[in-house]
Amino acid sequence: MKYSCLNPIAPIGLNIFSDSYENTDNVDEADVILVRSASMHDMEFSDNLKAIARAGAGYNNIPIEKCAEKGIVVFNTPGANANGVKELVIAGLILASRDIIGGVNWVQSIKDQPDVAKLVEKGKKQFVGKELKGKKLGVIGLGAIGVLVANAATHLGMTVYGYDPFISVDRAWSLSRSVIHVKNREDIYRDCDYITVHTPLIEDDDPNSNTKEMINKESIGKMKDGVVILNFSRGLLVNDNDMEEALKSGKVAKYVTDFPNDKTANMEGVIAIPHLGASTEESEDNCAMMAVKQLMDYIENGNIKNSVNFPNCDAGECVSEGRITILHRNIPKMLTQFTAAISVLDVNIANLVNKSRGNYAYTVIDVDTSVNGEVVKKLKDIEGVLKVRVVK
Ligand SMILES: NC(=O)c1ccc[n+]([C@@H]2O[C@H](COP(=O)([O-])OP(=O)(O)OC[C@H]3O[C@@H](n4cnc5c(N)ncnc54)[C@H](O)[C@@H]3O)[C@@H](O)[C@H]2O)c1
Ligand SMILES: O=C(O)CC[C@@H](O)C(=O)O
């Protein structure tokens, strides 16, 4: 098996690959790809490519539908970098409230003058800030990161409002009881002094699901004067032109973004961080280890965990003579055709697992005899089949 890395992936993760895996710089010959933020939208995928692992949470850099059509399973590593991001969000809240950046830069500008200590005491009043305690924080998106941020902010003495119409049961369980549950974004816009967004980038006609440019002229208009907005999710969650206008008018006091671009990097009132949310040793290690383990389990056992385009499926380790995996469309009569194709060739089925997700499905078939090429060809010829693999 060959793997290719489109971005630097932590060695502790790559070291998990056994001797049966070899690194290649030629993406076309790779069986699996590991990626962080590199855009894959313009890439052509070879027929040999079986899986892509995003060592991180957001996967908007990967064309997951195009991959599904080619039978390429895309994984991400949910939660693996959430603590790293949470800590930087807390730093962002503090940087937006206390002019630490201005103060530190000012000290650098006076460092060669005589009696710096005296100048500091005289000049520090220009950097007076505000405390977070007692202020209201709105958290939009209560996933791995949003929950950690919300919980941590309650410990800073903030009153925290949380909004997530799609919150999972697990996340809801881990959310502090002090977090006030709100059912629409408007309540957050109206009441909060600080608003932080922790949703994926989603482009959808339904305004409740859409997150692209959800921070825009209209939503900012509903916010308190002097609100602070933090964006550690994706640059496109915010309309930059509308933000520029709001910063100029003072409607928004500060915009903290982890995704600077040509426009925001030059805007007054923006605290621009160079996408450092997940750039900690711990987060990079966690993401790399999780990504590699998921890829190996898929390659060696056919199991799918944390996929973003196919259903999860745990068939365990194969104890039968052979295992065939089939990625296919989620349409009627597929299983009947699979079992018919296999039984014609006198192969006995020992176990069968079938899972579906939206337009796609996945079937794992364990057989009592070794799998021959004829079976594979028959399965591949079935209309709606996207990829067939003999795992064992
Ligand atoms: N700055 C960084 O380095 C960095 C690191 C990790 C993640 N991220 C970004 O942060 C995002 C969130 O990461 P996560 O690990 O918390 O992901 P997650 O999948 O655990 O959480 C996302 C949450 O958003 C919610 N959500 C989806 N659509 C929503 C909507 N329209 N309104 C309100 N809530 C909605 C989901 O229900 C889910 O609970 C990622 O998608 C990624 O874009 C950035
Ligand atoms: O890989 C990174 O450094 C950033 C990852 C982050 O944007 C994510 O979505 O997980």
State how beta strands 270-272 and 22-23 pair.
unpaired
49-78 pLDDT, tens digit per residue, is 999 999 999 999 999 999 999 999 999 999
Locate the ligand 2 atom nearest the alpha carbon of residue 57 and give its number: 10
Amino acid 230: pLDDT: 99
**How far, rounded to the nearest angstrom, does the alpha carbon of residue 184 sit from its chain's CA centroid?**
23
Question: Mean pLDDT in the chain?
Answer: 97
Pocket test for ligand 2, best of 59, 275, 282 (most atoms within 8 A of CB): 275
Mean per-residue pLDDT for 236-252?
A: 98
Amino acid 369: pLDDT: 85
Is there a common fold for 82-272 and 310-392?
no
Q: What's the whole-model pTM score?
A: 0.96
Residue 118 — pLDDT band, cuts 50, 70, 90?
very high
ipTM metric:
0.99
Among 14-28, 167-181, 244-258, 361-375, where is mean pLDDT lowest?
361-375
pLDDT at 348 over 90: no
Residue given tokens 């202020």 in the structure block: 135
CA of 79 to the centre of ligand 1 (A): 10
CA of 198 to the centre of ligand 1 (A): 5
CA of 165 to the centre of ligand 1 (A): 13
169-210 pLDDT, tens digit per residue, is 999 999 999 999 999 999 999 999 999 999 999 999 998 899
Locate the ligand 1 atom nearest the alpha carbon of residue 277 and give its number: 3
Mean per-residue pLDDT for 334-359?
A: 92
Q: Which helix (H) or strand (E) holds 284?
A: helix 281-301
Locate the ligand 1 atom nearest the alpha carbon of residue 198 and give its number: 12
pLDDT at 344 over 80: no
The whole-angstrom separation of Cα 311 and Cα 182 is: 31
pLDDT at 346 over 80: no
Amino acid 372: pLDDT: 82
Is the Cβ atom of 82 under 6 angstroms away from ligand 1? yes
Pocket test for ligand 1, best of 81, 199, 286 (most atoms within 8 A of CB): 199
CATH fold for the domain made of 1-81+281-309: Rossmann fold (3.40.50)
CA of 200 to the centre of ligand 1 (A): 4
Amino acid 371: pLDDT: 83
Looking at ligand 2, which residue's alpha carbon is closest to its atom 1? 36
Query: Which tokens go with 164?
Result: 């997530």
Q: Spell out the domain ranges in the chain.
A: 1-81+281-309, 82-272, 310-392
CATH architecture of 82-272: 3-Layer(aba) Sandwich (3.40)
Amino acid 191: pLDDT: 97
CATH fold for the domain made of 310-392: Alpha-Beta Plaits (3.30.70)
Q: Which amino acid is at 130?
A: K
- 286 vs 348, higher pLDDT: 286
pLDDT at 305 over 80: yes
CA of 56 to the centre of ligand 2 (A): 5
Per-residue CA distances from 115 to 103, 104, 106 (Å): 17, 17, 14
Is the Cβ atom of 279 under 6 angstroms away from ligand 2? yes
